[in-house]
Amino acid sequence: MKKLIKKRLHILLFILLITNFITAQPQWNFHIAFEDVTGAKDTIWLIWDTDATFGVDTLFNEQAQKLNYSVFNVFIRNTNADTTKTQALPHPYASNNVDVHAINYQYPITISWDSSLFHAPGLPLPVGYVNRAFINNDYFFLVNNDPYSHTFNMLMENHVSAPWWGYDQFPMGFYIMRDPSIGINENDMLKKYLILFPNPCNDFINISSDLVIKSYHLLSSDGKVIQSNLFTPSKNENSLTISLSKIENGVYHLILTDSKNQSYHEKVIVIH
């Protein structure tokens, strides 16, 4: 009897070890590391895996995490609106975007990531790699390495400093995408005339450009399409107006696509 119990315990321990191993080995596991000036550190994890769902996956540690409010913590919200530090999404889903919050920190904060993972093997087609990755908040709208998108392009660097500048840096938006609509042919806005005004805007925003715009998509901070529309391309029109009267106050990402299927990206601030 004792031998049987011992054998069952060994089997149970083996199962637990295998489960932990599986849990610790997601197919794409991307870290965003934060360190404040005191040396306090914390990390957010973004995962793509075929076993992930759009719910709370305990397999990937998406469940609620209790925070120690006396120390530095970064956190996001899961689909139950609980604080957590991991977001896991199914592999076919092409956008892994989060708003990161923080408590008990001192500026400046260093943010770092492993940019080699943007081209990690195993990322599914049609893109097969991360071709859009950027940080977005009020600070990086003004101070960045991609002035025509008003964001900090994570593809070009592996770290950045977020200093005190009169406003809080958090929440800080991170957008990691395998976008099939863009790639090496994405147009540089230096080569084209494109102006959005007013911005911040109220019930509408005007687009003045020498481009022939055929469509737009307005995305929320978590990457969801809030509004979109198709235009009838016309070389004679150099201005368009997008109605935003039904859009709530906030910061949005506007993607414009021209008649050559090239994309242009702008931050839009809506204040009613």
HEC letters along the chain: CHHHHHHHHHHHHHHHHHHHHHHCCCCEEEEEEEECCCCCEEEEEEEEECCCCCCCCHHHCCCCCCCCCCCCEEEEECCCCCEECEEEEECCCCEEEEEEEEECCCCCEEEECCHHHHHCCCCCCCCCCCCEEEEECHHHHHCCCECCCCEEECCCCCEEEECCCCCCCCCEEEEEECCCCCCCCCCCHHHCCEEEECCCECCEEEEEECCCEEEEEEECCCCCEEEEEECCCCCCCCEEEEECCCCCCEEEEEEEEECCCCEEEEEEEECC
Burial (CB count <10 Å: 0-12, 13-18, 19+), residue 151:
buried
The pLDDT of residue 21 is 42
What CATH class is the domain 189-270? Answer: mainly beta
Phi-psi category of residue 190: left, alpha or beta, with phi > 0 → left and psi -120 to 50 → alpha: alpha
The pLDDT of residue 213 is 87
Q: Tell me the two tokens of residue 163.
A: 């200093």
The pLDDT of residue 86 is 97
In the chain, which residues have pLDDT < 50?
A: 17-24, 183-191
Residues of the chain with CATH 2.60.40.1930: 189-270
The pLDDT of residue 98 is 93
CB 245 within 8 A of CB 234: no
**Each residue's pLDDT tens digit, 202-258:** 899 988 887 888 889 898 866 678 899 888 766 556 688 999 999 998 888 888 888
**Each residue's pLDDT tens digit, 90-108:** 987 888 999 999 999 999 9
